[in-house]
Structure 1
Amino acid sequence: MKKHAVLTKSKVGIAVAIALSTQLAVAQEAATDAASAATIEEVVTTGTRLQGSAAAVVEERKAQAFVADILGAEQISRTGDSDAASALRRVTGLTLVDGKFIYVRGLGERYSSTQLNGASVPSPDPTRNVIPLDMFPASIIESMSVQKSYSPDMPANFGGGNVDIRTVSIPTDQVFEVSIGTGWDSNFSDDGLTYAGGGSDWKGTDDGSRALSGAMTSALARYQENINAANIANVEGISIADAQAINRNLAASLNTQNEVYTKSLSPDIKGSVSFGDSFDIYDDWTFGFLAGVDYDNSWSNSEETEKVLGIADGQSVVIQDGASRVTAQTVELSGILNFGLQYGDYHKVETSTIFLRNTQDRVEQGGVETANSITESNLSFFDTDIRYEERELLTNQVRGSHFFPELWNIAVDWQYAESEASRYAPGEVFYRQISNRDLGDGVGDLAFQQTRSATTLQYQDLQDDAQDWRVDVELPLYFDAVEVLVKGGGQLSKKARSSFSRRFAISAETVANDALQGVGYNELFSDSNLIDENFGFQLFGAPTATDPNYLAAQQVEAGYGLLDINLNNDWRVSGGLRWEQYTQVAAQLDIRNMTVIGDVAEAGRIEDDIYGSIALTYQLNDEMQLRFGYGSTVVRPDLRELTEVLFVDPITNFKVRGNSNLSTTDIDNFDMRWEWYLPAGENYSVGLFYKDLANPIEAVEAKGTDSDRVITFLNGQAGEVYGVEFEFLKDLTGLRDGLFVSGNLTLSDSEISIANTGNVELTNNTRRMTGHSKYVANLQFGYDSLDGEHSASLIYNVAGERIAFAGVKQGELGIGDAFEQPFHSLDLVYTWYPDFNSNVKLKVQNLLGDDVSIVQDGITIQERSVGTGVSVEYSYAF
């Protein structure tokens, strides 16, 4: 990988680099053993891990033509972050939302793009086009680049920034590493929730019990997805009574044994193993490989509260109040397999296969009080929500890097990537019981109700496929005191998504009320009760116009040209143009006959345009430089946002509906940054940024028919984001050897203007952008012992309050915007190195015990306990 980096990053000065490396080799051979020993001793006594971890990423950031931040594997290890999402919150101006998505400079996840080794990747998330970054374990990450100013060799779909996750590459020497660890948190003191069939096995995969039965699958095909008794009678030409018998047997074929009970939680278990090597196979030919597997089985247990506000007597009041316990088991399994073949120093081909799987088994149970039950019948409801999902990503990449010194030093890089992401969520179960006690007095006696949906079961399946081709060609030109790099290339990206959902409800409308009293779920919905015609159950399941079934596809064709000019080693000017043609279609699907609902032509759109950027770097001296940048970019509505079907967001639990009338957002990006790089890895920087957005896209609350929130998407008229970023790393050897401090601070503001529509009536039509925090701060105190046996870091992170969702009007009065409150994260990481090959790492996370909360009109409407987590991990490597 290091050789590859030289070939791809510094081709302008390749001849100089080769000459210097030759001189260095001669000098090393001439050195005496004593001098070598002295050099080694000097590294041991004065070179701290601070210097080692900072040097490589600082040099890469310094060499970038465009404003970027780099996060290396050693830095990620120091902070103890387990995945890409949690690690990226340490980068200047980045905030972590829902534990999965990164907001760059206060702009939502739709304004940030993600690449894997420079290639686009699909997403398994049903309501977002970006991949959840918690799927990438830290063990497979070599570094991450966050480019904040636009360059023409990147996709023009660029808002806050682009995150490129670079996975570990083939080593030059044999490496073997194995680790094992465990952990728990303070919430484990309470028992967790589980259910019959819940608590996945060690693999985290469904055993088939949650899936649709063979009898139901056949019936759906035969009856065109409508298994209501009336339709069965019509298709079969039989009586309603006979059709109802078929219907009841189909209900019994579903998994209805979902009684929830409590259990003690097990400690988390995690482990990883990797092995790689390189071999000289013939003359200048070198073959290498790297294989690795990472596994994590963890539990979370939290208390949650949620309130919904309404207007009464001219002020905001609580119309729905709920408190619940949520237990989730998450199993993560990832694997990476790389092969590489290199000829000399100039030609290299490498393949990467990356597999990521994240499964979660989640149970939520708790009471809900509505305004009617409080004021009239003094009753409360008790809800049970069971969800299981498997998210997977499989990507195969092949890339090559070639340098031709005999052809004017031309360099060619190329890559092909094929990826598929999926989300499989079978057997989502929801049922509501009624209690004769208030929520505050406990659960009380529970009873099912004579409703059409005494229990509901939902089955979802999403597939997202992507292909990405690209080629880049570089030609270095040398003149008197001027170096010019001419770069150009093309890219073709394709993405296709299919989403299917089926929902069934078991009706108890004709079940005797006495039979619904004082019974558990498994007893009530037993097979014997379901098939008994005298008991009265009936199964409903037929497609509706709001079902989240759709097909979508996207293609982007692009070509670009770029000049990188270095004048007297003082001025560097980089800029160019990119042409993109964007084609997209997203249409609702009638699952009965697999046909598109509506006109396909109206569901598609084609856009093409030219986007440009320019970056100017002035070298003030050997240690300081000043950067300026401008870029013209877009952010397009994603596949899901254009489809007018209703989804339940698995993260927020909000209902989400698309909007086919969304327009593309045009963005003008401006950047300026001063950077100062000192010896021993010390550095300081101050940056300014401004973004002007035309037709910005925002998620807003639409008018609903019930107390549930329905989120949709609208274009605003205009928006802007601006701010200042500070970053530093300071060696504190003057206070104590091995001590250092690093951190960053972002101060910013934003504004968006959105007009009301018939479906959306916002309280504040001009406000901050959703998800934007006015400040983001990171601070790390670190210590590296001079004997190399100990290192420790105390890490603090906080982001200012941000709008979770905008408030809406009810009549002439409006409810205020809902603000997620600052979460003060304080973590401690200590590592002991008992010998050269092994280490023991202790992590304590959320030392302050802070909770996540959202406040609206002075009322805490959502709160979730997080707890303090402790983990221990042992690693061995040679």
Structure 2
Amino acid sequence: MKKQAVLTHSKLGLAIALALSSTVAQAQQQDASAADAAIEEVVTTGTRLQGSAAAVVEERKAQAFVADILGAEQISRTGDSDAASALRRVTGLTLVDGKFIYVRGLGERYSSTQLNGASVPSPDPTRNVIPLDMFPASIIESMSVQKSYSPDMPANFGGGNVDIRTVSIPTDEIFDISIGTGWNSNFSDDGLSYSGGGDDWMGKDDGTRALSPEMLSALARYQESINSASIASFEGISIAEANEINRQLAASMNTENEVYTESMKPDLKGSLTYGNNYDLGSDFTFGFLAGVDYDTGWSNSETTEKVLGIANSETVINQASESRVTTQDVEVSGLLNFGLQWGDYHRVETSTIFLRNSSDRVERGGIETPNSIDEANLSYYDTDIRYEQRELLTNQIRGSHYFPELWGFALDWQYADSRATRDAPGEVFYRQINDRDLGDGVGNLAFQQTRTATTLQYQILEDDAQDWRVDGELPLYFGGMEVLVKGGGQVSKKARSSFSRRFAISAEGVANEALQNVGYNDLFSDANILDGDFGLSLFGAPTATDPNYLAAQQVEAGYGLADIQLNSDWRVSGGLRWEQYTQVAAQLDIRDMTMIGDIENAGRIEDDVYGSLALTYQLNDEMQLRFGYGSTVVRPDLRELTEVIFVDPITNFKVRGNSELLTTDIDNFDVRWEWYLPSGENYSVAMFYKDLANPIEAVEAKGTDSDRVITFLNGQSGEVYGLEFEFLKDLTSIADGLFLSGNFTLSDSEISIANTGNVELTNNTRRMTGHSKYVTNLQLGYDSLNGEHSASLIYNVAGERIAFAGVKQGEMGIDDAFEQPFHSLDFVYTYYPDFNSKLKFKVQNMLGEDVEIEQNDRLIQTRTVGTGISLEYSYSF
């Protein structure tokens, strides 16, 4: 944020101050003499080139271990709205599903995420990592992606560690306000909505979708089973009397879910930030920063999907679907920081961060299933309504103290308490028979006389995390050698609970003619439900396969490292970290909260020592060469050790855990050459290699012909290796104010996985899931010499990657499914009419690319994305 600097003596703060001071110096030189004007041009070039990187380049150069830093100004230049989309610009990083970052071709499980150096919980039911799209760009000061391991970081480190560092206390009063809107080319088609949505413009369900108090009371009374037989047995009454209670409970549920089309609304966003700093006297300074951010946006897309199978030694389509998906996303965030500094050496700061991200999704379309419907004019017509509310609330307090009287000893400490929740209050699904006698589109729709004429599901997940850490460092001097000794400890705890209830309204007893050409609200009206002669009834009872579980994890760690400046040329850094890891995961019977399965297999304890070594050789004042080695580990997620089935809310695949998963041990090797020029230009070339023992992969398990179930397996071995190139080049020789920056990654991987009784892979040796052989980022930037205009043309592409591995059916196999390259071309233009305001115009996906997945040379999944246009105005008082 403008005129903002953290209350710290870090190199990052120094770099920000230098960048700002050079900008002020440039302004003061505007009226200088002609001779000075030539000098001013040089300063302008250097400042412009560093405009998006100066605040972080010094930190990157000073790091003992290989790391990439992304600052707020760089994020602003590319126009990315959240942490996930911004991180795809970093060398070697790819964005998957718009939420998760793959570092150097390794999936999200192999990358850890921290918030201001503390671990954070996750609201995702099938992953232990937090979706990075939850963090809006407005709260981010910088992000550090450390790619080589150091002992002061958690040993659960594969591809790298992402530390999101939020904005901090300002040195002067600031008041920023912004407002914006957006539109997508897919808005030209009407979107889908439904009648039972309620009023949730703040991203929080107003209770319309949730279970009624009457239903919650009945579930407690009848031990979660509200079937008529269970009610009759518990109450000692007749089935007829129990049926009446059952119908009353059904009528208390939200069954107003008629889907209709409506015109799409433009996106809307706004933010407000205020902060100040006060001199309290007696060498005390107090500051605070408060901010809120609101963003609501729509997406409207056409999707297709095919599930392949083998028949008569040929690849056939077992299921094909075409549907429209409309989603409204609402993001609400708040940040409140307080800081107290006394003297030059002591500081305490608190941060409260609240993030809410809700998704209201409607999908509707035809499903062709040749194995279950043989008539050429018949197909299924499915309607799927999902509302998901994700929240993160974290409270952090941290301190930094420097004691010159104790030989320069410095002490840092931090405590963080966080909770992530996912609430899915009422997912609705219903299937109709589509008689297409009116053509190839939608003809006559009819509900079926089945026990699951419609299903309603209610899920809640809570993930709590506590994190304590303390770090101390002491500088020592031995002749011409400088040694920084550092050590500390950390305790991280996580506890997760996940519960799900599923109900179905049966139409088995409804007359067939009453199911023909009838709307959802008409069929499942209260009048029909309460009418005992109509034939509707409610079913709901827990089963052994329900996705209900409790899980907990604790990591206790201590470390020591030394950073030694041997002379002006050589720097050596290294140390050891000890970690004890304890985890338990148990499936629960929700009726009496007892554990399902053998308690001896529910937990595991591991402890080990992990080391690292980094060498830096200073070739000259501008060049340095780095070498790094680290031994690390990647452990199974909490969820992955429970053998119950979840539906992944992102991929829509069913996911089943594996209690026999082993920990992955990794050896990491890095070499990087860096060249930093005084003008701000910089270049780097890196090589990396990772050797993985027992790598964990998501694979497809055996299921029905039209059902895709994903599970997890350990491979015998795996490896990842590659090259990374990065540059920032001044192009003033072509035009004043022009520069080019970018990065390229070329890499490969291999994993070997043996078949099991439940998994029969087509290719037992292949690339790792999600790995792209190449990643390219390019940015052509322009900054006018008068400071009023800036523009960037940004290109990003990742090579094809395995979306999921192919499986055998009989003696034949279906090949791996590959997500195709998505060529993203964006344009961002910013106009600065005065010192206090700016107007930003952004165009995304200018090429109109679609998401596509191919398997066996067939297009099995597509999703239209459209071209997005947005306009944002901000003003700083």
Match of 2:861 in 1: 862
What are structure 1's unaligned runs of at least 5 residues?
none
Distance 1:380 1:455 in 2: 17
Distance 2:48 2:872 in 1: 19
Match of 1:179 in 2: 178
Match of 2:817 in 1: 818
Distance 1:44 1:657 in 2: 59
Distance 2:152 2:45 in 1: 40
Distance 1:183 1:33 in 2: 37
Contact 2:840–2:872, Cα closer than 8 Å, also in 1: yes
Contact 1:369–1:438, Cα closer than 8 Å, also in 2: no
The reply on whether 1:6 has 2:9 as its aligned counterpart is yes
Match of 1:119 in 2: 118
Distance 1:318 1:42 in 2: 64
> Offset at 1:233?
0.8
Match of 1:727 in 2: 726
Which digits, 9 at most, give the CA deviation of each residue in 1:758-792, with x for residues without a partner? 11110111000000000000000000000100000
Distance 1:384 1:279 in 2: 57
Which digits, 9 at most, give the CA deviation of each residue in 1:681-733, with x for residues without a partner? 21000000000000000000001135121000000000000000000000101
Distance 1:244 1:73 in 2: 61
> Offset at 1:52?
2.3
The reply on whether 1:342 has 2:345 as its aligned counterpart is no
- C-alpha distance 769-196 of structure 1, shift in aligned 2 (>3 A): same
SS in 2 for 1:464: strand
The reply on whether 1:489 has 2:488 as its aligned counterpart is yes
> Offset at 1:198?
2.5
- C-alpha distance 313-74 of structure 1, shift in aligned 2 (>3 A): same
Distance 2:153 2:733 in 1: 43
> Offset at 1:597?
1.5
Amino acid at match of 1:549: N
- C-alpha distance 374-544 of structure 1, shift in aligned 2 (>3 A): closer
Distance 1:540 1:174 in 2: 60
Match of 1:103 in 2: 102
SS in 2 for 1:293: strand
Match of 1:750 in 2: 749
Match of 1:380 in 2: 379
Amino acid at match of 1:190: D
Amino acid at match of 1:852: V
> Offset at 1:317?
1.2
> Offset at 1:440?
7.6
Match of 1:425 in 2: 424
Distance 2:437 2:723 in 1: 50
State the identity %. Answer: 81
The reply on whether 1:740 has 2:743 as its aligned counterpart is no
Match of 2:330 in 1: 331
Match of 2:281 in 1: 282
Which digits, 9 at most, give the CA deviation of each residue in 1:61-92, with x for residues without a partner? 11000000000000000000000000000000
Query: Once superposed, which parts of structure 1, at least 4 consecutive aligned residues long, lie more than 6 Å away?
Result: 31-44
Deviates more, 1:127-136 or 1:367-376: 367-376
The reply on whether 1:627 has 2:626 as its aligned counterpart is yes
Match of 1:298 in 2: 297
Match of 1:827 in 2: 826
Contact 2:6–2:169, Cα closer than 8 Å, also in 1: no
Contact 1:770–1:804, Cα closer than 8 Å, also in 2: yes
Match of 1:139 in 2: 138
What are structure 2's unaligned runs of at least 5 residues?
none
Distance 1:377 1:212 in 2: 40
Contact 1:362–1:387, Cα closer than 8 Å, also in 2: yes
Match of 2:644 in 1: 645
Contact 2:11–2:58, Cα closer than 8 Å, also in 1: no
Amino acid at match of 2:441: G
Contact 1:646–1:658, Cα closer than 8 Å, also in 2: yes
Distance 1:851 1:501 in 2: 34
Contact 1:845–1:868, Cα closer than 8 Å, also in 2: yes
Amino acid at match of 2:715: G
Distance 2:30 2:375 in 1: 91
Which digits, 9 at most, give the CA deviation of each residue in 1:559-589, with x for residues without a partner? 0000000021210100000000000000001
Distance 2:845 2:598 in 1: 52
- C-alpha distance 7-518 of structure 1, shift in aligned 2 (>3 A): closer
- C-alpha distance 244-736 of structure 1, shift in aligned 2 (>3 A): same
Contact 1:380–1:438, Cα closer than 8 Å, also in 2: no
SS in 1 for 2:216: helix
Match of 1:412 in 2: 411
Amino acid at match of 1:566: Q
SS in 1 for 2:651: coil
Contact 1:369–1:439, Cα closer than 8 Å, also in 2: no
Distance 1:552 1:285 in 2: 45
Contact 1:45–1:787, Cα closer than 8 Å, also in 2: no
- C-alpha distance 133-324 of structure 1, shift in aligned 2 (>3 A): same
Contact 1:476–1:483, Cα closer than 8 Å, also in 2: yes
> Offset at 1:173?
1.1
- C-alpha distance 9-748 of structure 1, shift in aligned 2 (>3 A): same
Distance 1:867 1:579 in 2: 49
Match of 1:257 in 2: 256
Distance 2:474 2:556 in 1: 23
SS in 1 for 2:292: strand
Distance 1:471 1:846 in 2: 45
Match of 1:506 in 2: 505
Distance 1:420 1:463 in 2: 7
Distance 1:228 1:537 in 2: 13
Distance 1:673 1:531 in 2: 72
Distance 2:366 2:683 in 1: 52
Distance 1:666 1:766 in 2: 19
Contact 1:199–1:329, Cα closer than 8 Å, also in 2: no
SS in 2 for 1:681: coil
Distance 1:599 1:761 in 2: 27
> Offset at 1:5?
4.4
SS in 1 for 2:84: helix
The reply on whether 1:218 has 2:217 as its aligned counterpart is yes
- C-alpha distance 345-2 of structure 1, shift in aligned 2 (>3 A): farther
> Offset at 1:848?
0.1
Distance 1:761 1:563 in 2: 48
Deviates more, 1:142-151 or 1:192-201: 192-201
Amino acid at match of 1:441: D
Amino acid at match of 2:218: A
Distance 1:733 1:439 in 2: 64
Match of 2:766 in 1: 767
Contact 1:228–1:542, Cα closer than 8 Å, also in 2: yes
Aligned residues: 864
Contact 2:118–2:467, Cα closer than 8 Å, also in 1: yes
> Offset at 1:378?
3.5
Amino acid at match of 2:433: I
> Offset at 1:193?
0.3
Contact 1:373–1:379, Cα closer than 8 Å, also in 2: no
Deviates more, 1:137-146 or 1:700-709: 700-709
Deviates more, 1:413-422 or 1:47-56: 47-56
Which digits, 9 at most, give the CA deviation of each residue in 1:355-392, with x for residues without a partner? 00001110000000111366445311100000001100
Match of 2:159 in 1: 160
Match of 2:690 in 1: 691
Distance 1:342 1:70 in 2: 26
Distance 1:3 1:500 in 2: 42
Q: Over aligned residue pairs, what C-alpha RMSD do you find?
A: 2.1
Contact 2:792–2:828, Cα closer than 8 Å, also in 1: yes
Give me the TM-score of the superposition, normalised by structure 1.
0.96
The reply on whether 1:716 has 2:715 as its aligned counterpart is yes
Distance 2:45 2:206 in 1: 55
Contact 2:49–2:680, Cα closer than 8 Å, also in 1: yes
Q: How does 1:437-452 map to 2 (within 5 A)?
A: 437=436, 441-452=440-451
- C-alpha distance 7-62 of structure 1, shift in aligned 2 (>3 A): closer
> Offset at 1:3?
6.1
Match of 1:466 in 2: 465
Amino acid at match of 2:281: Y
Contact 1:225–1:543, Cα closer than 8 Å, also in 2: yes
Amino acid at match of 2:844: Q
Distance 1:623 1:532 in 2: 83
Distance 1:588 1:351 in 2: 37
> Offset at 1:53?
2.0
Distance 1:799 1:60 in 2: 28
> Offset at 1:240?
1.2
Amino acid at match of 1:665: T
> Offset at 1:50?
3.0
Match of 2:580 in 1: 581
The reply on whether 1:188 has 2:191 as its aligned counterpart is no
